Amino acid sequence: MKPLTKALRVAPGSKIKLSKIDPADTHGIDKEDATDLLTKNIERLSVLQYQLYAEGRRALLVVLQGIDAAGKDGSIRHVMSGLNPQGVTVTPFKEPEGPEKRHDYLWRVHAAVPEWGKIGIFNRSHYEDVLIVRVHGLVPKSVWSQRYEQINCFEQMLAKSGTRIVKLLLYIDKDEQARRFQERLDDPSKNWKFSAADVKEREYWDQYIDAYEAVLRKCSTEWAPWYIVPANRKWFRNLAVSQIVLDALEEMDLKFPKPAADLKAIHFE
């Protein structure tokens, strides 16, 4: 595990206080070096994705969470740009609708888990059911408080079945969120990204921070660790996300499968 990945990883049971983490921290890396490192990481990710597909016996699931405007879409766009689209699935989790409302909260999540040989990216995830559900009281505490253990068991089952899981919290501060919202208002090409609901949700900032801290404390496990990515600086965010995903693939020690036939006996005239 590279030093940056190790520094951002949340140890199981850690009592995280996000207020003590600087969302503008770059861990001593400057922008120019980060640009070069990101390019190299993207190139290596392409190689490892090919090996993952060839092996065809395991998958990688990347969970992206973050408060509004934290950069989930931007991370996907910049970090995954060198991957083969045929081997990647991106699933955004919005408010449940249709059949999703008539099943348990993990039903739609399990259906979106990547098949072996592929990388799956969740833009938001099952953690919404202990975040927005908790903050807005959509179900009683007696219901959502049980979900931490349920989620841990679910993720452990996936891990034991061949799915490597990495979970990234893109962490920005309230001032940076306001700046990004204002940018969406000022730039006509970004107006479509702004929603009046975004302003309303800012009123619950402290409650969301409490909810995220509970998630980090209760659901960072050996089989599905959380990483806190300082995301005020987009260039550092992109580097950190690429490094964490790259290290996860490297640690899987991917192998090309043995050929099904004796290749030495095959000759073309």
Average pLDDT, the chain: 95
| Placement of tokens 């490297």 in the chain | 250
110: its two tokens = 């399990």
pLDDT of the residue at 264? 77
pLDDT of the residue at 197? 84
Give percent of the chain above pLDDT 90: 88
66 pLDDT above the threshold of 80: yes
Calculate the alpha carbon distances from 184 to 181, 217, 259 in Å.
5, 33, 52
Do 144 and 133 meet the contact criterion of CB atoms below 8 Å apart?
yes
pLDDT of the residue at 195? 83
The CATH number that applies at residue 156 is: 3.40.50.300
At 260, the pLDDT band (50, 70, 90 cuts) reads confident
91 pLDDT above the threshold of 90: yes
List, for residues 175-199, the tens digit of each pLDDT value: 999 999 999 999 999 888 888 888 8
- Residue 104 included in any domain: yes
pLDDT of the residue at 1? 66
Mean pLDDT, residues 227-232 = 98
- Residue 248 included in any domain: yes
Mean pLDDT, residues 48-76 = 97
Range(s) of the domain holding residue 164:
3-253
List, for residues 129-188, the tens digit of each pLDDT value: 999 999 999 999 999 999 999 999 999 999 999 999 999 999 999 999 999 999 999 999
- Residue 261 included in any domain: no
- Residue 83 included in any domain: yes
32 pLDDT above the threshold of 80: yes
Q: How many domains is the chain partitioned into structurally? A: 1
- Residue 158 included in any domain: yes
Calculate the alpha carbon distances from 54 to 220, 223, 259, 263, 268 in Å.
30, 23, 11, 17, 24
- Residue 266 included in any domain: no
- Residue 262 included in any domain: no
Q: How far apart are CA 72 and CA 177, in angstroms?
A: 13
- Residue 69 included in any domain: yes
